[in-house]
Chain A
Amino acid sequence: MYDWLNEGKAYLTVLYNIGTMIALGAVLGLLMCKISNLISKQPREEEQTGDEDKASSEE
């Protein structure tokens, strides 16, 4: 009889859990990016994507 209620509750829990995690992840992620930038200089992009990081040939 109350299956629909339980089902609705389960969907609400899913929404709540996923929503909370996404929101906290986004807020913490952006906050930490700002703090990291404040603490250290912003690294240059070319430093990160240099060719030297590619895997070597198998020959």
Chain B
Amino acid sequence: MIEFSMIPGVEINLYLIVFLSFAIGIVSGFVGVGGGFMMTPALIILGFPAEFAVGTSLMWVMGNSIVGTLRHRQLGNVDVKLGAMMTIFVIIGVEAGVRALNAMKEAGLADVTVLTVSIILLLIVGGYMLWESNRTRIKQYRAAMGNNIALPSYEQTQLSTIMQGIRIPPVIYFEKSDIRISLWVIAVIGLVTGILSGLIGVGGGFIMVPAMIYVIGMESFAAVGTGFFQIIFGAAFGSIRHTISGNVVIFAALIMLMGSSVGIQIGVLATKYLRGITMRYILAITIIIAAAGSILKLIATTTGSESAWLEYGTTIVTFGGLGLITCGIAGLLIMSALRRKGKKIPDWMDSLVRH
């Protein structure tokens, strides 16, 4: 047990923090989200006061994203040019979103409105990704079975084709992603994702990674790597604000980073063995779990109660969700290894691993 000087009287299990960070690092490294949405409730459950949990996890997200970016960059998954351009607009959008949120609060709109909007948004994005991944997987499976159906994997989404077709100058070519797109499109996408991030308070990854895949038309793992790169700046911006407010336990964030830096390597390793479609599946499930967490928060806000079942619910969603996703990634990695050794694996898993 360890006691941090900034939060006297709260003793935290050191091994549990390291293990949690390790597990969240696996998920984060694979799907390209910062991981703050899991870390913050986990720290609260472990005994951190809410404001310290938010500030500390945001600081950790920054370090975590640096580790993730370095590893993904080594694998050629980071489009620095596109990421840097989008980051500028995302930061402007985040600031606008935070100001809009404050204005809404001053106008008397309660947290309930923001939470409801965020839940609807997360469910739409998560639901769409789940539907799209499932449909693509089935199509690819049928094609592989010899039904002469063209593999849909070589196509882009209709939306990304339309976006790439907009030729308002300046049109920029991104060599790394092999995408030619107008700067205005990037600006609008960056601003919209930034505003949504600032407004609903979730990290950029949840909105940015799906936006880069479905709207810009990037490959799944390139979106993951580039997403990590962008999260560094967004998290740094938030960390500065929280440090000034005195909400960051830097020692805890450093310990968490040590655990997650190992987990991230496993998550990134999984991108070598699992397919882009699997990443989209797992990101969809992660987003839906985040929505479930927000629903519990909404219930707590509307009822104004701190009942025991809500606490149990939050614990189950946080730790259960984390366990489910981590075991899913680990299980698929094992299946992929078995397949490479020539062992027979279930057909539905066969369509999720690289051949």
A-to-B contact residues, CB < 8 Å: 10, 13-14, 16-18, 20-22, 24-26, 28-30, 32-33, 35-37, 40, 42-43, 45, 47-59
Contact = CB atoms under 8 A, between A and B. Distances in A.
Interface in B47-88: 59-60, 62-71, 74-77
8 pairs of A and B residues whose beta carbons are closest in the complex: A53-B276, A25-B66, A29-B70, A56-B152, A25-B63, A45-B76, A57-B155, A29-B67
B59 A17 contact: yes
B222 A49 contact: yes
Given A21-B63, A21-B253, A49-B76, A54 B217 contact: yes
Nearest to A31: B261
Contact of A22 (B66, B155, B213): B66
Contacts of B155: 54, 56-57
Nearest to B254: A24
A57 B161 CA distance: 9
Given A51-B219, A56-B139, A21 B70 contact: no
Contacts of A52: 151, 153-154, 275-276
Q: Which of A22, A24, A55, A57 has the most CB of B within 10 A?
A: A55
Nearest to A51: B154
Interface residues of B, number: 63
A43 B272 contact: yes
Contacts of A16: 250
A24 to B, nearest CB: 6
A56 B151 CA distance: 9
A16 B244 CA distance: 12
Q: Which of A30, A32, A53 has the most CB of B within 10 A?
A: A53
Interface stretch (B10-18, B96-104, B119-127, B235-243): B235-243
A47 to B, nearest CB: 7
Contacts of B152: 56-57
Given A14-B243, A53-B220, A56-B155, A48 B132 contact: no
Interface in B133-154: 135-136, 139, 151-154
Contacts of A59: 158
Given A25-B257, A36-B265, A18 B75 contact: no
Interface string B246-276: 0010100110011001101100110110011
Nearest to A53: B276
A18 B269 contact: no
Contacts of B66: 21-22, 25-26, 29
B221 A25 contact: no
Contact of A32 (B71, B77, B161, B248): B71
Contact of A58 (B157, B243, B276): B157
A54 B354 contact: no
A42 to B, nearest CB: 8
Nearest to B129: A55
Given A20-B254, A55-B214, A56-B153, A28 B261 contact: yes
B156 interface: yes
A49 B135 CA distance: 21
A55 B136 contact: yes
A42 B135 CA distance: 32
Nearest to B68: A29
6 contacts: A21-B66, A29-B261, A53-B276, A54-B153, A54-B220, A56-B136
Nearest to B272: A43
A8 B32 CA distance: 36
